[in-house]
């Protein structure tokens, strides 16, 4: 059933009776006469549709209006204004970037009713499309697939201990995010989290940066300086790209891990420091040990609790959720009229191999938000080629491909919940299971298929190989 709750914000006397008219048309209308009252109502209730009646806005009021719109938790906004209001560049930008549509005074009731109905339909689609993309979870990790679920379990286990953790994984896969999650889950969460990129500090400065120095220890040391390890006292020190640490520094780090003390440059005594070490590297440190570029004793001291952060291509089922989450983050940072991704963009993202991992996905979404002129992002906005389709296929084959894509994308979007997927596709659960069997698709193990879940496994293509959209 279509939700018909509506917030009517009336900031002018030139369009009286709108609320009463909409009440007569079956809308449940909450009325506000200023932005402060509208904000209080938004905090108490979600309105799928909001109507702003403003006449001609005052100069400089666009920022307050934009703040009110962005605080409305996904409401579709429609504006009613005088024609003179459209002469204001700031107000025009606000309409283009933040509003579903607008009408000019005097009102044509039939046109306004149609616009509001369309806005309500879009709000309903949006709520069904992204029921889970409200934010990252308590660990800051976005995703519902088995790979990310397993990573969360590993993080919670190691967070309960004090032993060093060694994170492996490709560049851009989210190793620092995993380190922050470990810190956030540990009893050190109230303490500092200090991140250090060992490969980004000049070799001549890295000892001083990590361990600090005393005043006069060397030319230019005009005052005492606490090192980054000391700054992490009571919390966690994250040593990223530790494979780039010079051998002579590796000895000092090993001493800290063994004794929990540091010695500043120019100091005559050691200082106790209580900081947990989480290290990360995209290199294979065991190979670095074999090549003589990394100390074996330091490797074994760090490799007490190893965790591998998976590349994005191993949890492709999380790409839609990650893309929507990044879109929300980018939209909050600045004005944008973008409201989502079209089907072709989603298919292109599912077909891409993501060599740059999650960082690449975020960068592509950020670029698309800035560069697109459309309300829905397309493949070209992301810098991706459209998903391949065989040339010259017949109508039946095209229908089969479209049907398979629709099932795959819907299952992915709803977290492999068969009941919800069937509802969105407009078929029964048994029909969806039959169609999944037709296309050789099955659910990842342990996913929320609802009652009567089918067999577990990976999505499979018609040839028996993993579906081209991405597998673990």
For 218-269, the pLDDT digits (tens) are 777 778 788 899 999 999 999 999 999 888 889 989 999 999 998 888 877 8
Lowest model confidence (mean pLDDT) among 29-38, 82-91, 220-229, 456-465: 456-465
pLDDT digits (tens, 9 = 90+) for 383-414: 998 876 554 556 666 677 778 778 877 787 77
The CATH code that applies to domain 313-382 is 1.10.8.60
Whether the model pTM is above 0.85:
no
Architecture of domain 146-310: 3-Layer(aba) Sandwich (3.40)
In words, the CATH class of domain 5-129 is alpha beta
Q: Give the model's confidence band at 132: pLDDT under 50 very low, under 70 low, under 90 confident, else very high.
A: very low
User: Where is pLDDT greater, at 466 or 270?
Assistant: 270
All CATH 3.40.50.2300 domain ranges of the chain, comma separated, are 5-129
Q: Which ranges in 168-217 belong to alpha helices (H)? A: 175-185, 206-211
Secondary structure letter of residue 447 according to DSSP: -
Q: Give the model's confidence band at 461: pLDDT under 50 very low, under 70 low, under 90 confident, else very high.
A: very low
pLDDT digits (tens, 9 = 90+) for 306-350: 999 999 999 998 898 899 889 888 876 666 778 788 888 988 999
Element (H, E) at 281: strand 276-281
Of the candidates 353, 440, 415, 341, the one whose C-alpha atom is nearest the C-alpha of residue 148 is 415
- CA 444, distance to chain mean position in Å, is 22
All CATH 1.10.8.60 domain ranges of the chain, comma separated, are 313-382
Euclidean distance between the first and final Cα of the chain, in Å? 37
Query: What local confidence, expressed as pLDDT, does residue 3 receive?
Result: 53
All CATH 3.40.50.300 domain ranges of the chain, comma separated, are 146-310
Task: Provide CB contacts within 8 A for 384, sequence distance 6+.
Answer: 345, 348, 349, 352, 364
User: Where is pLDDT greater, at 239 or 135?
Assistant: 239
- Distance CA(164)–CA(305), nearest Å, equals 6
pLDDT tops 60 at residue 453: no
pLDDT digits (tens, 9 = 90+) for 257-305: 999 998 888 877 889 999 999 999 999 999 999 999 999 999 999 999 9
Task: Provide CB contacts within 8 A for 280, sequence distance 6+.
Answer: 166, 167, 168, 169, 175, 176, 179, 238, 239, 240, 241, 242
Residue percentage of the chain with pLDDT more than 70? 85
R_g of the chain, CA atoms, integer Å: 28
């Amino acid at each position: 059933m279509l939700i018909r709750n509506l917030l009517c914000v009336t900031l002018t006397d030139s369009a009286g009776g709108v609320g009463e008219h909409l009440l007569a048309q079956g809308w449940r209308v909450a009325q506000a006469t200023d932005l402060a009252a509208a904000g209080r109502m938004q905090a108490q209730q979600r309105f799928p549709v909001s109507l702003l009646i403003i006449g001609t806005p005052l100069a400089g009021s666009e920022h307050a209006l934009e703040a009110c719109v962005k605080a409305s938790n996904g409401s579709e906004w429609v504006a009613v204004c005088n024609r003179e209001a459209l002469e204001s560049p700031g107000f025009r930008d606000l309409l283009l970037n933040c509003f579903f549509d607008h009408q000019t005074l005097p009102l044509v009731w039939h046109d306004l009713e149609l616009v509001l109905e369309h806005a309500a339909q879009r709000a309903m689609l949006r709520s069904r499309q992204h029921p889970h993309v409200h934010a990252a979870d308590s660990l800051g990790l976005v995703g519902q697939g088995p790979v990310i679920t397993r990573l969360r379990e590993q993080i919670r286990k190691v967070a309960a201990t004090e032993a060093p953790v060694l994170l492996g994984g490709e560049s851009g896969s989210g190793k620092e995010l995993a380190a922050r999650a470990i810190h956030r889950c540990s009893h050190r969460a109230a303490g500092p989290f200090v991140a250090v990129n060992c490969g980004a500090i000049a070799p001549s400065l890295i000892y001083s940066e990590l361990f600090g120095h005393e005043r006069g220890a060397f030319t230019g040391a005009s005052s005492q300086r606490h090192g980054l390890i000391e700054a992490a006292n009571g919390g966690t020190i994250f040593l990223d790209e530790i494979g780039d640490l010079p051998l002579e520094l590796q000895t000092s780090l090993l001493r800290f891990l063994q004794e929990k003390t540091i010695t500043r440059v120019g100091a005559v005594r050691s200082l106790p420091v209580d900081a947990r070490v989480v290290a990360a590297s995209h290199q294979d440190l065991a190979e670095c040990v074999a090549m003589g570029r990394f100390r074996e004793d330091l490797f074994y001291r760090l490799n007490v609790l190893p965790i591998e952060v998976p590349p994005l291509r191993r949890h492709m089922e999380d790409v839609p959720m990650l893309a929507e989450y990044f879109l929300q983050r980018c939209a909050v940072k600045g004005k944008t009229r973008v409201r989502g991704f079209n089907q072709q963009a989603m298919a292109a993202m599912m077909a891409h191999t993501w060599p740059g991992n999650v960082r690449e996905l975020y960068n592509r979404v950020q670029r698309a938000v800035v560069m697109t002129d459309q309300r829905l992002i397309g493949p070209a906005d992301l810098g991706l080629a459209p998903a391949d389709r065989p040339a010259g296929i017949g109508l039946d084959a095209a229908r089969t491909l479209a049907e398979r894509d629709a099932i795959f994308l819907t299952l992915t979007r709803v977290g492999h919940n068969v009941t919800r997927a069937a509802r969105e596709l407009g078929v029964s659960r048994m029909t969806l299971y039959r169609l999944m069997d037709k296309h050789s698709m099955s659910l990842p193990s342990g996913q929320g298929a609802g009652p009567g879940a089918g067999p577990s496994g990976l999505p499979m293509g018609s040839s028996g190989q993993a579906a081209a959209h991405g597998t673990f």
